[in-house]
């Protein structure tokens, strides 16, 4: 079984994005995960023999954790393949650490064309240095959140990604089930169908690799394929449920969590849950 262990390195951020739910999460704000606790969680993942990947992201900017690349080195040394999602603002300051760490993938999370244009020089420099040194990693992606306000920008995102020479583009739906910002809406199903058809045509014409979100089902792909550990070590079935506690990974092994009655109970009832029942991510 090749699951992804999602770990939150930081619950502090250098941006205040309108689509982010971080300000509305109770507790654990302005915190970073310690290297020691990260190592305990990774050791639990390795010993379970269930996990192959570690995704470093959450409700903060991972690069604000000074020990981030020590974490990546530790995970890679343990046989876990690492990927990182970042807003990109601090990548220029830590570029050498990125290449020295063994990081396999880095995704630049963007949702607005203006934000993308601000980090374009950083993405270009990262690609240039990787190619100049003849390296194959990290793979470099744009991770784009789709919502109503940027629907007209998606083709521009893809065009820029192609011009930059990124390895792929990941598109995913807006998550706003909590209705944190009522003015931020997702597109209609008809608009999504039309958009995805256009995106597929662009992918064929430009030969750029694009990952589209899959059709939602229960249990959803996120829960089937991963588990999320917060900056405090709390284990939850999904990063969009940061306050739903199954156990603490510093007190219980991940294998025990996944085998627990509370986890099985969550899976069996998620379609009727207040959040999961309304989610189409």
Average pLDDT, the chain: 94
Domain extent listing, the chain: 3-278
Higher-confidence position of 15 and 24: 15
pLDDT computed for residue 1 by the predictor: 60
CA pair distance 57, 43, nearest whole angstrom: 19
| Residue 178 in tokens | 């909590």
Quote the DSSP letter at residue 151: G
Whether the CB-CB separation of 95 and 130 falls below 8 Å is answered with: no
The token pair at 148 is: 């109503």
Which are the contacts of 198, defined by CB distance < 8 A and separation ≥ 6?
A: 154, 155
Query: Nearest 5°: phi and psi at 236?
Result: -135, 150
The answer to whether residue 180 scores a pLDDT higher than 90 is no
Q: Check the CA dihedral 214-249-28-88 and report its sign.
A: negative
Q: Is 32 left (phi over 0), alpha (psi -120 to 50) or beta?
A: beta
DSSP 220: -
Q: How confident is the model at residue 281 (pLDDT cuts 50, 70, 90)?
A: confident
Write down the CATH number for the domain with range 3-278.
3.20.20.70
pTM: 0.95
Candidates 235, 258, 230; CA nearest to 245 is 235
Helix-, strand-, coil-residue percentages of the chain, each rounded to 5: 45, 20, 40
pLDDT at 144 over 70: yes
Largest Cα–Cα separation, the chain: 52
pLDDT-based confidence at residue 128 (cuts at 50, 70, 90):
very high
Q: How confident is the model at residue 176 (pLDDT cuts 50, 70, 90)?
A: confident
């Amino acid at each position: 079984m090749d699951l992804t262990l999602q770990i939150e390195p930081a619950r502090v951020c250098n941006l205040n994005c309108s689509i982010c739910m971080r300000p509305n999460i109770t507790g654990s704000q302005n915190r970073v995960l310690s290297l020691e606790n990260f190592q305990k969680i990774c050791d639990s993942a390795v010993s379970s023999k269930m996990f192959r990947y570690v995704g470093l992201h959450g409700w903060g900017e991972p690069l604000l954790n000074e020990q981030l690349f020590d974490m990546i080195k530790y995970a890679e040394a343990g046989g876990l393949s690492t990927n990182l999602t970042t807003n990109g603002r601090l990548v220029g300051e830590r570029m050498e650490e990125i290449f020295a760490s063994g990081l396999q993938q880095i995704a630049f999370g963007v949702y607005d064309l203006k934000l993308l244009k601000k980090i374009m020089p950083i993405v270009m420099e990262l690609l240039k240095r990787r190619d100049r040194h003849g390296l194959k990693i990290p793979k470099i992606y744009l991770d784009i959140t789709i919502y109503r306000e940027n629907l007209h920008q998606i083709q521009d995102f893809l065009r820029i990604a192609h011009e930059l020479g990124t390895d792929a583009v990941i598109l995913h739906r807006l998550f706003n089930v909590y209705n944190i910002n009522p003015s931020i809406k997702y597109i209609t199903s008809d608009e999504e169908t039309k958009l995805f058809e256009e995106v597929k045509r662009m992918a064929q014409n430009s030969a750029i690799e694009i990952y589209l979100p899959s059709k939602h089902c229960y249990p959803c792909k996120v829960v089937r394929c991963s588990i999320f550990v917060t900056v405090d070590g709390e284990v939850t079935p999904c990063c969009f449920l940061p306050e739903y506690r199954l156990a603490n990974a510093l007190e219980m092994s991940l294998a025990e969590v996944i085998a627990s009655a509370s986890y099985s109970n969550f899976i069996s009832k998620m379609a009727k849950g207040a959040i999961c029942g309304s989610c189409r991510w």
